[in-house]
Structure 1
């Protein structure tokens, strides 16, 4: 069983227009506090990012924010966090997030959220870390993305074993259970095969 003391959440810097998503972000924050899980996130005070951080802090939970200098200067940074880590650039930010976390959850968001999700799952696929990655599919937000991944499998660009590295659920408690139970399969990469 994976011990999840710190979870990094990737999510939008906008709130979007679906109240189910903002409600789910608040609920996830409450669950983190109940389970004494520290939230690790991008340190912004806006959007879904700000909502989950505020909810954790309002319930006396711990929040670690990691933000690059250039975003800090744009004054979107949350100044009331338990800990604030500043990095030189986006790449260093993602490295710090990976190092500081026992697992990762993607909530709804935009391009940045997808970029963070796919980079961290690629690192898992390549064996650069062994940590569980969850996709919280609130109100069907990620249905089309999941279909695209299924197409990648069907067309031979993604193995089923690597597809299954992404843990998906619409219920946050069920998703956390899947993450706790996660066992990384021994995936043989084509890079290590005997093909010439």
Structure 2
């Protein structure tokens, strides 16, 4: 696992623990010599994970659509910054560059990006680990929704089992490296 794509919010969230754990994930990635692939912004959890990587000697690769360069404020001190045309281009490049995927707390965009790579894993387009960093029990309701979808016959248990989840960045990376 040389590169991990991290999907997360361009906002900080209400609880400071989100920024703290995002930065800690970046630190852990750098400690394991795993490069970060992410949305390319300097703000919110995105900025925190990149700073955690960069301040610990790691490499951070940003992928940002031209339209979001000023909205999300592109990070100007990354190892690489790719400016692409559309969100589709962003997701395709991030998926191509990454060996695994992690979602931190975020909004609809974070969920959409993460669900796409999970869906691709379910239908066999890739065999890359897909994980959730469950900071502050943020993703616990999502796993409950998966249980409901399984109960209602729309999802198989084996698809839920593809999801790696932990609230500790060190443990999460350890679980992902075991695969």
Aligning the two structures, in what range does the TM-score lie when normalised by the shorter sequence? over 0.9
| Displacement of 1:75 | 6.4
| Displacement of 1:26 | 1.4
In the superposition, relative to structure 1, how do residues 37 and 160 fare at CA in structure 2: closer, same or farther (>3 Å)? same
**RMSD of Structure 2 on Structure 1 (CA):** 1.2
**Residue from 158, 161, 164 that aligns with 1:167:** 164
- Alpha-carbon distance in structure 2 between the residues aligned to 1:23 and 1:75: 19
Say whether 1:80 aligns with 2:77: yes
Say whether 1:46 aligns with 2:15: no
1:188 corresponds to? none
Aligned residues: 179
Say whether 1:96 aligns with 2:111: no
- List runs of 5+ in structure 2 lacking aligned partners: none
- Alpha-carbon distance in structure 1 between the residues aligned to 2:72 and 2:152: 44
Structure 1 length-normalised TM: 0.88
| Displacement of 1:177 | 2.1
**Residue from 131, 153, 156 that aligns with 1:156:** 153
2:61 corresponds to? 64
Q: Secondary structure at the match of 2:176?
A: helix
Q: Structure 1 stretches (4+) deviating beyond 3 angstroms?
A: none
- List runs of 5+ in structure 1 lacking aligned partners: 183-196
| Displacement of 1:73 | 4.6
| Displacement of 1:59 | 1.9
Larger Rg: 1
Structure 2 length-normalised TM: 0.96
